[in-house]
Amino acid sequence: MRLWRRASAVVLLVIGAMAASVSFAQAMPQLLIDMRTNEVLYENEAGVPWHPASLTKLMTALIAFEAIETGQASLATPVITSANALSVPPSKMGFPVGTAITMEDALYFLIIKSANDIAIAIGETIAGSEPAFIEMMNARARMMGLTGTHFVNPHGLHDPAQVTTARDMAMIALTIRARFPQYDAIFSTRTVETGQTRMHTNNELLTSFEGTDGMKTGYICASGLNVVATALRGGRHLMAVTFGANSSRERGEMTAQMLFSGFAGGYRGTGRNVLDIVNQTGLLPVDMRANICGANAEQYRAERAEAFSAGLEGQISYLNDTIVPPTHRATILGRLADVPLPRPRPAMPGSPSVAANDNEEVATTGFGDSSIISLQPSGQSGSSLAQPFL
C-alpha cells in the first residue's frame, strides 16, 4: 500500500508538471501513443502546423526501405555523393564528389549523424534526382493521408513551405516500425564510426531513459528542437513526439516525462487513435526563430526554465539511467563515380504526378508498394499489433 501511494504521488507530480508546461503561452505540440493499439494516451496541439527539421529524414528512410523491399535497391547498393549533395549546408558527411558508400551505411549516417548530403544522395540513388525524390515523398504523404505535411527537400533544412504536424510525423514513424522491424537497429544505435571518426545521435533518451529503442531528433531555428522517441517497458511499447523545445534538456526531459507517466499509468487514454487527430490545415507553420535563435532567445530560455524545470540543478529528472547503445561501423567504398544511378521509378498506381514547384539555414545543434499502416478505428477495442495493408 505504501509503495502504491508513493507511485501514485509520483504520477500526480508528473501530470501536474505536464499541465504546467503546456499552459505556457506557446504550448508545444506533444503526442503519446500506445504502439500496440495506436491509442492516443496524451495529445496537445498535435495537429498544429510545424516545421519538421530533420524529422523529415524519417520519410526519406521510409521510401528507402520501400525501395529495398521492392528490389529497386538493396542494402549493398552504392550511394554516391554528387555535387548537388555536397553543396547542401551541414550537418553533413562532406565526402568528396564521387565517393560511394553502401545504402546500409548511408541509412546509418542519415539517422545517427543526420547528414543532409546523405539524404540527398539517397534520394538521387532511388529516384534519379532530388526533385523526383521530393515528388515521391509528397505522393507518399498523400497516400498516407498526411494532410498537414508537405516536403520541399529530403533532409529538413529550413524552407517556409516544409511543414508537418506531430500527428503526421507519428504516422510516418508508426509505419516504419510496423512494416520494417528489420531496420530497428538503425534507430536504436547511438554511434556510427568511419575511420577514426565517431558520430553520435542527439537522441538524449537513448543513453538516459531505460527501454528507449529509437527514433529521430531534429533542429532548426524555425522549429526549435523536435523528437520522435519510442520506448519499451514491461511489455508496453510507447511512442512520444515533442516539437519546439528550446534546449536538448527540455526536449529530452519533456519527452521522457511523457513516457514515464505513460508507463506508470498516469494517462487513462483518450479512446482515440492517431487518425482521429485533425490537422489544422490552412494555417502557416509556427515559426520559433525569434525565441530560439533571435532577439527573444535569452528571455525565452529563462521563461521556459521557470515553466519547466525538470533536469535543471536540484530539480527532478527523468533521464537518470546509464545505457550504452550499440555502435555501427561504416566503410567508405571509395571513388565510384562511374557507377550509374538507378533509373527513376514509375509513378505509383493511382497516384497523380506532382509538379516540382518548390524550389536555408544551417542546423546549429545538432515506391513501389503502396501499403501504409492500418490504424484501428475509434470505438473498437483490442490489443493486437497494428498491421500494414496494401
pLDDT computed for residue 96 by the predictor: 95
Domains for the chain: give ranges and CATH numbers: 30-338 (3.40.710.10)
| 161 or 378, greater pLDDT | 161
Band of the pLDDT at 28, cuts 50, 70, 90?
very high
CA distance 56 to 163: 9
What separation, in Å, do the N-terminal and C-terminal C-alpha atoms of the chain show? Answer: 49
DSSP string, 244-290: EESSHHHHHHHHHHHHHHHHTT-----S-BGGGSPP-TTSPPB--HH
Interval 164-199: pLDDT, tens: 999 999 999 999 999 999 999 999 999 999 988 999
What the block records as the C-alpha cell of 359 is 524550389
pLDDT tens profile 65-95: 999 999 999 999 999 999 999 999 999 999 9
* Structure-block grid coordinates of residue 65: 526501405
- Cα–Cα distance for residue pair 4/369, rounded to 1 Å: 49
What pLDDT score was predicted for residue 325?
86
Q: Tens digit of pLDDT for each residue in 258-309?
A: 999 999 999 988 999 999 999 999 899 999 999 999 999 999 999 999 999 9
pTM: predicted TM-score of the whole model, two decimal places:
0.82
Q: What pLDDT score was predicted for residue 370?
A: 31
Q: Is 384 a catalytic site residue?
A: no
pLDDT digits (tens, 9 = 90+) for 239-257: 999 999 999 999 999 999 9
Q: Any catalytic annotation for residue 113? A: no
Confidence category of residue 26, pLDDT binned at 50, 70, 90: low
Given the residues 57, 188, 223, 248, select the one marked as catalytic.
Answer: 57
Question: Per residue in 334-381, pLDDT tens?
Answer: 886 444 454 444 444 343 333 322 233 333 333 223 333 333 333 333
Look at residue 269 in the predicted model and tell me its pLDDT: 84
Active site residue 92: no
The secondary element (H helix, E strand) that includes residue 197 is strand 197-200
Inform me whether the pLDDT recorded for 4 exceeds 60. Answer: no
Q: Is the separation of the CB atoms in 223 and 245 below 8 Å?
A: no
Bridge partners of residue 163, in order along the sequence: 150
Which position has the grid cell 526501405? 65
- Is the per-residue pLDDT at 18 higher than 90? no
Residue 100 clears pLDDT 70, i.e. is over it = yes
Listed in order, strand segments (DSSP E) in 73-211 are: 78-80, 99-102, 191-194, 197-200
Among residues of the chain, what percentage have pLDDT more than 70? Answer: 79
**Average pLDDT across the chain, whole number:** 84
Q: Which three cell numbers stand for residue 355?
A: 509538379
Q: Is 216 annotated as a binding residue?
A: yes
Specify the pLDDT at position 268: 84
| Grid cell locating 199 | 558520430
User: Looking at 21, 82, 91, 114, which residue is catalytic?
Assistant: 114
Omega within 30 of 0 (cis) for the link into 91: yes
